A and B are shown apart, each in its own frame.
Chain A
Amino acid sequence: MRFESPATSKEAVALLASEKGHAYILAGGTDLLVRMKMDLIEPDLIVDIKGIPAMQSINASSTGSRIGAAVSGAELGEHNKLKKLWPGVVEATNLIGSDQIQGRCTMVGNLCNASPAADAVPALIAAGAKAVIVGKNKRRTVAVEKIITGPGQTSLARDEVIEAITLPKRAPRSGDAYLRFIPRTEMDIAVVSAGINLTISRGIVTSARVALGAVAATPLLVPGAARAIIGTKLDDGALDKLAAACSRACKPIDDKRGTIEYRTRVAGVLARRAAKIAYQRAGGA
């Protein structure tokens, strides 16, 4: 195995493109090294992206934010401006693993690992986040919900690398929130999760995005659930419709962490609670 630590995204892409064997990108390594340890993968090349300046920084502003692919969960949690603009995105990322894991794990790693239960992803989808992808001949910007195509599968080509996540312009009176259900208080994988992002005007929801995790093969954007609350003051009737739309969108599996019935029901419950938090954060009563 060869270890490379390029200084630019272009160099990283060139290394990935020229490798004939199995090449992997290393950011925090909290998934990659586990897979190596368990002999699930045997890399011929590892490309460490942490030395690439364009991937190391956070720019947070109400006119748009950008988070480098190598930024750790801990760094994200210490960025007060980003936390103020996008508390749901930051809290979702900070739910991943322990303090030790937070010291290394990244949002983009969580996305590219492509787990249906990835905590950062529903919050990013709800936020309208985009991935800035660098390839051999071009750059492209893709909505986060288009990245994961199945468990452990992404739409990225083998010589493409995500350089950063961008978050859109933040209108005044906006708020987001992410909730997950786990049977313990910490250090677990979501059984069900919900991310909500909304903007209000005079108490009325003017725009919203709703995303669910761990209830299908990929995290889901649920436009019907957003429509259920747009134009309302998030009254009980609207919340009931939101919960029903979320439950309808679920295509979960039965496993040791939860049954189909349980996940379907709890998706609605979590969406309801997350919507209330987001509404409050937006300045709604």
Chain B
Amino acid sequence: MEQRYFEDVEPGDEFSLPWRPDRAQVVAFRAAGNPETAERPDRFTDDEAAKQIGMPKAIVPGAFALCMATRVVTDWMGAYGTLHSIDVDFRRPMLHEDALNILALVTDTLEDGGRPTVKLDVYFENERGERPVQGTALVELPRKL
């Protein structure tokens, strides 16, 4: 993992991770919490169950999306960065097999009480031109010595 330094970051910097979630990934994610119910057929694993609540097919759990967004940010900041907060809104469902891109954009750099801090927007885009999940993150980065 590459280390990111405060001096190297400026507003407008962008990084991303493509992601095509599928049933196997969703089941693996749920199994980390409770292996016994990971494959239970519901809106997250079963297309028919999802259709019963008005979705076109099975959807990605919000917690999974948040974890993926967090991963994008923490991979970018490096081992000596500190993620102070991440907060997302779920505006549209993300479906299994969606061609997603998880993006993070540096929107500001500031000295927050003497701490070198970076504000980021984090969001998902899909092939339909939608941003189904969007939010913000606050990261503290080390300075170069």
- Whether both chains belong to one complex is answered with no
**Residue ranges of A at the interface with B (Cβ–Cβ < 8 Å):** none
**Residue ranges of B at the interface with A (Cβ–Cβ < 8 Å):** none
